[in-house]
Amino acid sequence: MDAIATLRGKYLEQIGAAPDADALESVRLAALGKKGEISLKMRELGQMSAEERQTAGPALNALKSEVDAALKARKSALEDAALDARLKSEWLDVTLPGRPRPMGTIHPISQVMDELTAIFADMGFAVAEGPQIESDWYNFDALNIAPEHPSRQEMDTFYMHRAAGDERPPHVLRTHTSPVQIRAMQNQGAPIRIIAPGRVYRMDMDQTHTPMFHQVEGLAIDRDISMAQLKWTLEEFCRAFFEVDEVELRFRASHFPFTEPSAEVDIRCSWEGGQLKIGEGKDWLEILGSGMVHPKVLQAGGIDPNEWQGFAFGMGIDRIAMLKYGIPDLRAFFESDLRWLRHYGFASLDQPSLAAGLSRV
């Protein structure tokens, strides 16, 4: 029975010392595996005399159970220790303050475009788009601006390059969003109710002009559209956009080749102590050009001017953004100064909608 005591001592010690699951498995195989020491000993029972078997049998069985139990106990102790170690290493203090992440902001121009789109959508205007590189036909001819017309020069057009020998008129960077009127007419025919916000380009650069700026074109065509509806639409827009109960717009007779009659529109405002207020005061600020679409323009867009008429307007987005959010310098819009963008930018979740209010709170 010494042999059994030796085996017992040896395996219990190895089990106790096994550092991990793999080592423990090796001990199990060495003791109780098919060719394990204890297993082999049990096989020897067959060759013993009945008498010997009577004492050796129970002793070996007891040894087997004891080693087995020790293996299980060690296994679960190792698992517990592994879990403890993992819990310790993966411990997380959820009360720590979060790491600050630099977040981008929505540019005021983008914000204002979203705002005005929401307001005009509410009045039934869909958004239309056109290319920023236009043919001179869309930018000028179709809008009744003849080749020798001074406004081609007045608009300080950027012309695209043509290969030497290519006599076609060069494309232009569109000088206004009005060419989208023609594209909308061609694409969908009458009736039409669209706005077309986007970038436009003129060779001009000073405190109140940048070579690229933004306009929103408006176009409504139907059988009996009138100047009165233009006025109502613009007043309604200004009330919603500037979030004031009353606005006063002043229509000044003007001239555009693509509208007849034409009017430039000013909004009543006051500058007091450097603070701009919309809707009151004795100053006027020009915000847009407008008029009744010229019959020749309808024709160029493939619409019969004897059946249809409409109004159009072109508003400066940068200008109304400056007015609404008190931004004093136009050029800052396009300088990408991060400090400016953080100050004047909008949170990305601050989506304008008529129901939620249009501006930040």
Q: Which of 184, 192, 240, 312 binds ligand PHE (CB under 6 A)?
A: 312
Distance of CA 42 to the CA centre of its chain: 75
Distance of CA 108 to the CA centre of its chain: 14
Least separation in angstroms between CB 258 and ligand PHE: 6
Runs of H (alpha helix) within 190-331: 227-242, 295-300, 317-325
Q: Which of 130, 179, 310, 314 binds ligand PHE (CB under 6 A)?
A: 314
Runs of H (alpha helix) within the chain: 2-17, 21-32, 37-44, 50-89, 108-122, 136-139, 150-154, 179-188, 227-242, 295-300, 317-325, 338-344
Using H for helix, E for strand and C for coil, what is the string for 320-351?
A: HHHHHHCCCCHHHHHCCCHHHHHHHCECCCCC
Q: Which of 241, 308, 313, 346 binds ligand PHE (CB under 6 A)?
A: 313
Least separation in angstroms between CB 262 and ligand PHE: 6
Residue 78 and residue 24 in contact, taking contact as beta carbons nearer than 8 Å = yes
Enter the tokens of residue 160.
């695209």
Binding mask 52-91 for ligand PHE (x = CB under 6 A): ----------------------------------------
Least separation in angstroms between CB 294 and ligand PHE: 9
Least separation in angstroms between CB 319 and ligand PHE: 12
Residue 218 and residue 231 in contact, taking contact as beta carbons nearer than 8 Å = no
Q: Which of 11, 120, 256, 308 binds ligand PHE (CB under 6 A)?
A: 256
Is residue 263 packed enough to be buried (19+ CB in 10 Å), middle (13-18) or exposed (0-12)?
buried
Q: Is 309 in the site for ligand PHE (CB under 6 A)?
A: no
> In this complex, which beta carbon is closest to ligand PHE, that of residue 169 or of residue 261?
261
Least separation in angstroms between CB 250 and ligand PHE: 16
CA distance 239 to 332: 26
Distance of CA 182 to the CA centre of its chain: 30
Least separation in angstroms between CB 181 and ligand PHE: 7
Binding mask 278-307 for ligand PHE (x = CB under 6 A): -----------xxx----------------
Q: Is 333 in the site for ligand PHE (CB under 6 A)?
A: no
Residue at shortest CB range from ligand PHE: 314
> In this complex, which beta carbon is closest to ligand PHE, that of residue 196 or of residue 322?
196
Residues 6 or more apart whose CB falls under 8 angstroms from that of 30 comprise 11, 14, 36, 37
Encoded amino acid at 340, one letter: W
Q: Return the residues of window 172-201 that contact ligand PHE according to CB under 6 A.
A: 176, 178
Element (H, E) at 201: strand 192-201
3-state secondary structure of 210: coil
- Selected range binding ligand PHE among 107-115, 162-170, 276-284, 309-317, rule: CB under 6 A: 309-317
Give the residues across from 13 on adjacent strands.
Answer: none
> In this complex, which beta carbon is closest to ligand PHE, that of residue 83 or of residue 205?
205
Count of residues that interact with ligand PHE, criterion CB under 6 A: 10
> In this complex, which beta carbon is closest to ligand PHE, that of residue 213 or of residue 242?
213
Q: Which of 63, 259, 318, 333 binds ligand PHE (CB under 6 A)?
A: 259
> In this complex, which beta carbon is closest to ligand PHE, that of residue 111 or of residue 144?
144
Q: Interface residues with ligand PHE (CB under 6 A)?
A: 176, 178, 256, 259, 289-291, 312-314
